[in-house]
Amino acid sequence: MKACSADGKQLLLYNKNAQYELFKTCPACCRYGNHGYADCYTQCDPSKPPDRDPPEAVAKRDDGPPPSIEAKCSPGTWICDKSKSWTMACTADGIFARTSYCGDGCCKYGSTPGVVFCDCRNREPSPEEQDLTARCPPSSAGCGDPKCNCGSGQRRCDYRGNLLVCIKCQWEIETDCGGPKCCLETGLPGTGAQCSCHRGCCGQKKLRAIHELERSAAPAPAPADDEVLDADKKRNCEYNRLSCNGDYSVLQICNKSGQWVVKQKCGKPGRCIPDGLFGTGAKCA
């Protein structure tokens, strides 16, 4: 859960101690979008306060790197913070700064020095997270049972990054996408969710399998440069804001009509990076 600070300049994150802590300082201001979610915006009036009261419990944030790496770092180097819950990147000033929240204890080091990633697959879920993967009870009435919350063939993601499919009124794991941020809920009819290979989510074996699937499937027509991306209308859209489309293949921009339109075609799915580094915004890889 995220919120804006009282001065509207910082984006706060609710932590496990039931307090809001600094997530990042916004380039212009923090605001609540059309759907009520707090986020950083570049096109806004910094003098106007957020339209909600600030949270009462705000904790001080410790951005300091682990003791072994307190010396000035090399720009582009990545580490996990002390709690192993955040990825940190070395800025151009030679200082480590938090970039992405992985979840408690979910930041892991790769086999290559300077490479980190988020992976919560071996972590026990909290009661709140267990609610996200609640199963529809089996019944002789099947998915027509009023108590059942999924329809046969429906797909969704769970908090671990697994792609789930509804079989006989019960959510079952169809495949492991590779991490919490590697499963994408598309919201499109007939799909619902899919694995997305971006930012190193998929291993080589899974990547080859997805490429084979792409080659065997009929290619979808590329969107026109002025096409409105209907699947993304429900997402926060503020003029000149950048984001990625549903399969991370197109860099889109919010126009004056409050609609997402194509800014740049990145190529294959997964080539659009949602956040960029250090809050620079979405971009094509």
User: Model confidence over 256-272: pLDDT tens digits?
Assistant: 887 888 998 888 776 77
Residue 216 above 50 pLDDT?
Answer: no
Q: For residues 164 and 150, what is the distance between their CA atoms, to the nearest angstrom?
A: 11
Could you tell me which of 114, 72, 206, 127 has the C-alpha nearest to residue 196?
A: 206
Q: What's the chain's Rg over C-alpha atoms?
A: 20
Q: Is the pLDDT of residue 213 over 60?
A: no
Query: What does the pLDDT look like over 186-197, one tens digit per residue?
Result: 655 445 777 776
For the chain, the domains span 2-59, 67-118, 127-216, 230-284
Read off φ and ψ for residue 196, nearest 5 degrees: -130, 120
Domain 67-118 has CATH 2.60.40: no
**CATH fold match for the domains 67-118 and 230-284:** yes
Quickly name the fold that domain 230-284 has. Answer: 2.30.130
Average pLDDT for 72-100: 80
* Average pLDDT score over residue span 140-168: 66
Span 231-262, pLDDT tens digits: 444 445 777 878 777 667 888 888 888 788 89
Its sign, for the CA torsion 62, 127, 146, 175, is positive
Mean pLDDT computed over 30-50: 73
Which residues on adjacent β-strands are paired with residue 90?
96
Q: What is the pLDDT of residues 93-102, one digit of tens each?
A: 788 888 776 7
